[in-house]
Every structure is written in structure tokens, then in C-alpha cells.
Structure 1
């Protein structure tokens, strides 16, 4: 652990070498959930950007059903990875009045980093945002700290709360495609709900989604974007983070980040065609302003292999669609692959195509990342 703390401290010096100012907001660290205790890449990024041994990181666990126990766990981990201080910001759904506590808000202004834990993002909305849509005192202090250079991280529900307009509140892919998006929060977790006003609104380059590949959320992401006129979605996998500094984004962690580009997509409702899907893994970069990807150093254009991507059932099952896409990317002669939902009233078909401009990159002969895979969804 001593060597790990030394590495984090060194990185902190590099990342915090320039003084923060109101014109230089902090980084966003968008984590897809299920963050492992031993994920030194992601925890190290949070700690280093917050100042390492000089860090004072505020942990906010309002979304959790056990906010105090969850906060203790995160605080211990952040200190384990070299944070000088990590403190609980005790605003909970059971004590919402603390969101207006001036002393607590003053404490938040002195933080060098903020971490939003997982749970239910609707608890963040109800507790940290006033009924008229304005910031509570604590949320205003968080926004101010971010504007002054403090990084803000969020995992799972915390990631969602950092999104701007049309923040997703729940939903499964099949029901989303069948029934469409609805405004609000719903007790039924299968219903695709969204909050038009969004959350904290620090990330506005597109919609955000978490647990993306593991929970097969590609369908719900496409339907929400189509229904709300968004042209881009960032779906972050578990144990993975998208680090955002200005318009540049970098993937950190063990899995990947999907970028769904709907600029040329057509159709609506149950049929959407022409979505372009890029999948980025550790070290890959994405530039939001130019909509371009750049593979990490050491990743080379993939030499396709013999073999096929076989049709799949239960296309929105755990990791099913990502696996199909990676198999297709690696197949030498195959240009298309498809999958179907298990449900049949109606069934939905997902078709993947190596469209013009498609590219795949890998290392050790294995596919790791791709860009420009066409994704079509239709009932059938």
C-alpha cells in the first residue's frame, strides 16, 4: 500500500500543479457502479485529482438506504488510497433539513473533492434540490466548489445525479422499447422514467447511464434519447469511470464506456435505425466537441480472425449485446450480427452492422475497443 500511496501522491502533484480558478472547473469522474474496493485506477484518480495527501473529500450518500454505513465504507477506502481527509456530508432523505444547514454548506466550500455514492438518484433530487428547482445551500456549495476546481465523482446513482436535463430515473430495455419514456419516478423499476429538469447538471454533453453492459441498458438508452431529442448517450460499465476535463474524456478502469451517436438516427417509438455505437476501454479518449475517438497508446488496428458472431436470444441480458458486438468486431468476414429479445409480445430485434468508417482496436490480438458500429432496433 505504501507504493500505491506514493504513486497517488505523485499523480496528485502532477494533476494539481496549476492553481484552480473560477474559470477552471474541476474534473468529473463518472463511475458506472459496482466499484470494486481494489480498483486502484479509479480510486487513485479521485484521490489524486482532489489533492492526494492534502485532499479533503466530501462523501455524500443521500441516495443510499444505509447512508451512514455506506459513507463509512467510502471514507475508509478513500483514505486507504491516500486521501489526507475524507468526511461525510450528512444530508440524508431522513434528515433533508440538513441540506439547508449554513454551517454544513460552509464546510462543503472547503472541500477539495466531492464523491456521490450509489443507491437511488431520486433521493438526491428530492433532498438536494428545492421544490422550485433551485439549489439547497449544500448543493450550491458543491456547485461552487466544483467551479473553483474541485473534482466531483459519482458512482451509479451518483453518476446519474450529475447529469443535466432528462436524467433517467429507472427502466429496463425491453419495457422501454415497448412503452416509451415517461416523465417522473416510478415504483416499478421496469418503467423508463426520466426527470426533465435533470440533476446537478454538471455533465451536459449527452445523457448518462450506468451499469451499462451488465444490465443490457442499450435499449433503454436509445429509446430515452430518441424520445427526448438527445443525440448522444454515454453508457458507463461497472467498475469503470469516464474522466471528463472540459470537452476531453478518458476511460479509466476495468471495462468500458459506450458512446451512442444518434445524429443520423431515424425512426421513433419502437423502431430506431442508424445509431452509431463506439466502445472505449482503458486509456481511450473521446473528444465531445468533435465527436471523435482516439485509442490508447499500444492499441493497434485489429487484425480480424476467423469465426462468427452467432445470433443471440435475450439480447438485453447480462453483457449479451456487448459480447455480440465484440465478437462481430473480431470476425474477419462477417459484416452483420443480430440478437432478439426473449419477450415476444412484441419481440425486438437488434441488428449490428460494420458500416463504412467502422474500426476496431486491440492488444495481444484481442478486440478491446471499436468505433462506428451501426445499431438498428425494430420490432419483429
Structure 2
């Protein structure tokens, strides 16, 4: 964790600029020699299960007989070094060949020894001789200043650092995560966030009243193992794109790119080939500020534009030729230019209710792979409304590259998106006018609760289920009786292709289910692309006695994703009654079968089915009675239909994190939900597992489950979408919910955050792609729950001068729970945050 700097008095922009001249290169870095070694630079949050990164590090170190030294100095505890050593052993490295080097300038809080005495070891001949025998060095995360201060004294390299440079030149690999990544470049970013960096660049004097809301940019000299650009880390989670861009403009004068490495991701620098390769689970942002210019200062305008910053984004398998400044995209990725998949009007990225709100996804779905958009906007500002408008443009050299990864998850690489930044002032005021645009829903909810006992279970997945997500697959198979007894029927009706059903079948086979026990059922009302058969002829099968006989022998039914209206049309009769096939599915479900589905296959699970609309459209415009096609799922008012009612305890929504559906679930639950029931929003790659016998929901997978409680909500009868005291909880894998009492049970592996808060900073409004912690769970966790100085956090959603203010507050019932998961990744559960939503007018000048 980086040290938070509070030195307000020195944070003027002139001092930021003058600090450039204080950056000096260490002695070992000044020689322009040929380096035979390589670098493996991880952006933080490295998962123990991230096989690609661990195996690459071990390979570059010389294999499983490699001798590896871990430098623990960045951390406040020795635990992270011990954990990394254990991780290496789990991948086959001999424990006796991995040494935690006694190098530190401070004591560790989790040991009896006083490690402050290790400071002098950096010039100890015994330690130097240890390092000479190593083929790899690893820097753990924490505070990057501690690493530099430990290995350098008065600006001079210690003997230990000189020796690390020697083995690096001769072929050793140097690796590090988080702080261990920050130290890799000559210019080391030591503090700051995107808002603070922009304010420091634009303002002559930073406003000391608000400086605690953001952190101004600070830099100093790093260790310089990577000599061709600035490195930043935690890029995606902390949205550091502006701080990296300003760093590149201010401090990178050699025409190099600047690189922002995501969490659980590595850039592998091959010095001999002059190539960077991206590996891991996310990506590397590449910022080209060489042609960036600041215009407008000499004119009457007092709002100069920072223009023509180019941003690219590379993912696993992509390569960067860092001398020639060219990209090489992985084989199997398809260009999006001229072949855009989407065609919808994308809203500006204004806050936590924006679909695809995180930086990469916002540019990928809303701009690059969207035929309808040439320009996008996002914002960032402080509590007084002083901030910036960020404009993203497609240019002649802009392109995107797409493929599926880990099953059917979209993966994008982006090339040369242009970014302009303009200072703006934002004014928010209450909208006291009646919302004439808002339409209530005319959809009539049918009371379909089943009186008899249901023996079966549900595995309801929020979409983008990874083939590697063994927890979800294992749970589905377990509930179907195990690998030997599972008999699975896959219903393909939602999709436009049969490939998703075939892929799911293959995933089950990989998990050990007998291939002869899995069948794709002929249920569809439309033809599939890429097949010779005309599947539209299957529409008559909904009342087929032969198909009913097949279903009677199954103990697992799975609905693939796509368009949920196609599922209901394929299984309900024209008068809305259940077809014979649907009756058969209900029969096996009552008798103990498990029913599962993903995306559209999750939407159909509740009685009221959400089939279209987004959060802003729901709050501003309400509901619509018409449905055209799947593009309606990307935006606009909410469209509702009759669902299949397998889950009888509330309304379900899916893709909840990536498509930011909090607003639409609240609006739907308020109009169509039952007051004593929760509403459920399921994240991607995550399942809510419903045990009807125990009447309990368990969370399984990789994301969260958002719970909306409207039992205490207050509204304004004369004003639509004006809510007070919505209760929001977000729970994680291992947690559960009692469906009768709505009581939430948190896994006993997590520790409460109340009275043990880790963070102590004020938080600016969450305002778009450059705001850190872009998912709802993370915003509430880092900004509010685990933050002693924050009692509330705000976000906005607006367009064309109209919008909504969201205020999340702590109450006496609010609590948070924290644990490490998959290595040292933070995992939070959040209980009972109060949310108010207020209609507002927005003025931008």
C-alpha cells in the first residue's frame, strides 16, 4: 500500500515541475550497456491462482531449480514475502532455493525480530554474496519509497543494489508487484490520483480546503531497471490514467510511452528483443503523450485544453515493441473497425450508474466496438464541482481487437484512442419540477407462487461465466447428483448461435460429466446462425410429448445467455400459460432437479423478468411497453415481461457490476416487488445458489451479489425517482442470505471493518472513468465502509442537464467485512448502507 502524503504546503504546480530536475539516476543505471536479463512487472493484486504469471516468472528465472531472492522492504509485514515463497513452492520451486533477503529499513509488525537492524545489510558482503548466486529477485508490494530508501543512501546505490544490477545484466529476472512495480522505472510515481494530478497540472495553487479529497502527484527517482518509460500500477482498480498521463507529460522527455499495469497482470520486458509482452487476467494501458499539447492559454479562454493524448490498451498475448513504438496484437483477435458489433447511443460516463463504467470496458463497448459512436465523454471533479471533462475520440489510426477468453468472456485490445481534457465547473441543484418524462409500468405481475414444496435448487449466474470458474461448475454438478449421476439438458433458445450451448457442454465434460449424459434440447423459436438446420422449426416442440419424456429423465436444466424474451417465447404458450415442456421442467425441479442459467438464463428466473433498459433510463424515463431487440438492453426505459418464476423470493437482475444496473433494479423492485422481499443483482462470473429446502441463498464464484431492501424506503408522491433510505448490501463468495428472514450471514473467514477501518481519507464524488474503485462493491468498500473519515460518498448520473444524485451513507446498522482471497486480493462484504436518490439539474461551464 502506498504511503499517503499529506504535505499540502509543497504541492504547488511550480514545485511539481521543478521536482523534475531533482530526479537523478542511480550509479548502476547510467551505463548504456547490453542487459541480458528480463523484467516481470505486476500491477498488484496478484492472485495465487494466476498460473500464467507465476510460471512465466519461474521460466525466466531458470525453471524450478531457480534460485530466487525476495526483498520484503516495501511491506509493513513479513507475511507477503512468506506467502510469495509458498506460492512459488506450490508451482514447483524448491523451498530451499527461495530466500527472503534480510533487507529493510523498518521493523515488521508481525515478527518478534526488529528488522530495522537489517538496514546495514545492504552493504554487507555476506548478503552481497547471497545475491550473486541468485537468478531472480522479487520485490513485494507496499510502499515503494521504502524500497528505494533501503537500497540507496544519500542518492548512492548500495552494494546490494549494485549486485542486483550485475545479475540483471548477466541474465537474471527482476520481478515485483505493486510497489515492486513502481520502482522499476527511472521516474517513480510515489503518490497521487487522477484528480490530484490534473489539479496540480492546471492550477497554480492547489486548493488546500479540498486537498484531502484527492492526492496530488509526487514523483522521485526509481531504480530504473526499465529505462524506456514510466511505470504505474493498480491501473484499472485505482483509475490512474490521468496521473500517468500527467507524469508522462511532465517527466518523460525521451519520446517513450508510459505504461499502466492492471492488477493481476504482468508486463514482461525482454531486453534483448526490445519487446514487452502482456500476460495475466487484465491489461496494460499505454499512454503516448509525445504529441500532447496544451492550447488556449494565450487566448481569452481561461480553460485551456490538454489535447491529443493517445491511449492504447493491450491484453494477454499482445506485444509492444517499445523502441519502435509499435504494437503486435495476439493471434485470434478480430479487428472491430468496420465490423462493430454494437449500435447504440452510449451515455456519458458520469458515475456509478454508467454501463461498462470502468475505463477499458467503457471505451471498448461504448466507443470502439460501437458503430453509433465517434466520441465519448467522462468527468472528474471534487465536492465543490471543480474538475474536468474528458473527451475520448476515434481517430483515423484508432482500432480495436476482440476475442473470447475463458469461455465466452469478451476481451478487447484498444489502439490509439485520442483523449482531450478540459477544465470545467459542475453545479448540481435539486430538480423541483415534476418529471413529465417518467412513465409507470403497465405490466401486470401474475401471482404464480407454488404452494407445494420444491425439492430442487437453482444456480443463477450473472453472465460471463468463465470456463475456469470451477466453483460454479462444481456446485451445479454437485446439485445434479455428481459427475456420475448428472443428466443435463441445455436450452439454447436465448442465443443467436448454437456455439454457446456447445461450449457449455464442453465445459461440463472438462469438469468430469459424461458426454453422453448431456444433451442440447431442441427448444427455440428462431434459426441459429452457422448451422444447416432451420431451428425456427423447433418452435412447435414446446408441447412435444417426445421432448417432455426426455426432460422427465433429466436432473439438471441449463439456460444459456442471449435474449431472455426468446426463452419465454419458446416456453410459454401464446396465452401466457405454461407449455408442456415448461410443465415438465417444473416437475423435475419440484422433484429435486437443479435449474441453472447465465445472463438471459438468469433473468428468466424471477416472476417479473427485466428484459431491457439501463439505470439512468429507469430513473429518468421509467418503463416502456414495447420491445424491439437486444439493443434495448443497452439503454432506455425498463421493459418488463412475465418470467418463469423458478425463484419465488424476489426480482433478479444480472450483469450487475459491468452494466451498472443498480438504478433499474431499484425502480423495478419499487414498482413490482413485494415489500418484504429483497431484490437481487448478480455480478458477472458469479452465481447465487438457491437451496429451496433450506430457503437460503449462497454466493459462489468471483464477484458479488447486491441486495436491495426497500422495506424502509420513503418516496415523494409528487416526484418520480426520489428515494430515501434504500438499504443496499453487497455480499461475496462464502456469504449467504436467509430467504424467509432476509438475514445475511457473513463468512467467518472475514473480519469486521467497523472500528478497524484501514483508510482515513475524504472521498470526492465518484464521477466516471477516472474515478478509482469503479464497481459498486469496491466504491462502497474502499470509499465508505473501510474508511474512518467518510460517513457518506456521492455519485451522479446525468445527461443533457438532467440527472440524479446518489448518496450512500453509513448508519448504525452499517458494517463491512474484509478478508484476503486468492493470494493477497482484498475481498469485502458490505451490510446495510443507506442510499438516497434525488433528481437534480446539472450545469457544466
Please indicate the TM-score interval, normalised by the length of the shorter structure: 0.7 to 0.9
Distance 1:379 1:23 in 2: 44
The answer on whether the counterparts of 1:330 and 1:367 sit within 8 Å (CA) in structure 2 is no
Matched residue SS, 2:149: helix
Name the SS for the 2:126 alignment partner.
helix
User: Where do residues 218-233 of structure 1 align in structure 2 (5 Å cutoff)?
Assistant: 218-230=241-253, 231=255, 232-233=257-258
Contact 1:178–1:346, Cα closer than 8 Å, also in 2: no
Listed as ranges, the gaps of 5+ residues in structure 2 are 1-32, 106-115, 205-210, 298-303, 425-845
Partner of 1:160: 182
Cα deviation for residue 314 of structure 1 reads 4.4
The 8 Å contact of residues 199 and 216 in structure 2, kept in 1 or not, is answered as no
2:390 is the counterpart of 1:356: no
CA drift at 1:342: 4.2
Q: Return the alpha-carbon distance in structure 2 between the equivalents of residues 311 and 279 of structure 1.
A: 20
Q: Is 1:136 aligned with 2:136?
A: no
Aligned to 1:277: 311
Deviations 1:1-34 (A, max 9, x none): xxxxxxxxxxxxxxxxxxxxx9452111111000
Whole-Å separation in 2 of the counterparts to 1:367 and 1:254: 10
Match of 2:65 among 31, 50, 54: 54
Equivalent position of 2:261 in the other structure: 236
Distance 1:252 1:323 in 2: 18
8 Å Cα contact 1:23/1:148 also seen in 2 = no
Tell me, what secondary structure is at the counterpart of 1:312? coil
Task: Using the TM superposition, give the Cα deviation of residue 80 of structure 1 relative to its aligned residue in structure 2, in angstroms.
Answer: 1.2
Give the number of aligned pairs: 349
Alignment match, 1:378: 422
CA deviations 1:288-336 (Å, max 9, x no partner) are 1111111101111123122243201249x99632232112111112111
**Could you tell me which of 339, 347, 360 is aligned with 1:310?**
347
Over the aligned positions, Cα root-mean-square deviation in angstroms equals 2.3
After superposition, the C-alpha distances for 1:146-166 in whole angstroms (9 at most, x for unaligned) are 0110010111100111111x2
TM-score, structure 2 as length reference: 0.40
In the other structure, the counterpart of 2:89 is 79
Q: Report whether the alignment pairs 1:123 with 2:146.
A: yes
The 1-side partners of 2:283 and 2:357 are apart by 12
Q: Provide the residue aligned with 1:333 in structure 2.
A: 372
Give the Cα separation in 1 of the matches to 2:345 and 2:163. Answer: 53
Larger Rg: 2
CA contact (8 A) 1:34 1:238 kept: yes
Partner of 1:48, secondary structure, is: helix
C-alpha offsets along residues 193-223 of structure 1, whole Å, 9 cap, x if unaligned? 000xx22111121111001111010111111
1:170 maps to 2:182: no
Q: CA deviation at 1:347?
A: 1.9
CA change 1:58–1:271 in 2 (3 A) is: farther
Following TM superposition, by how much is the alpha carbon of 1:130 offset from its aligned partner in structure 2, in angstroms?
A: 1.5
Cα deviation, residue 271, structure 1:
4.0
1:35-54 alignment runs, 5 A limit = 35-54=46-65
Unaligned runs of 5+ residues in structure 1 are: 1-21
Q: In structure 2, what is the Cα distance between the partners aligned to 1:226 and 1:311?
A: 26
Aligned to 1:322: 360
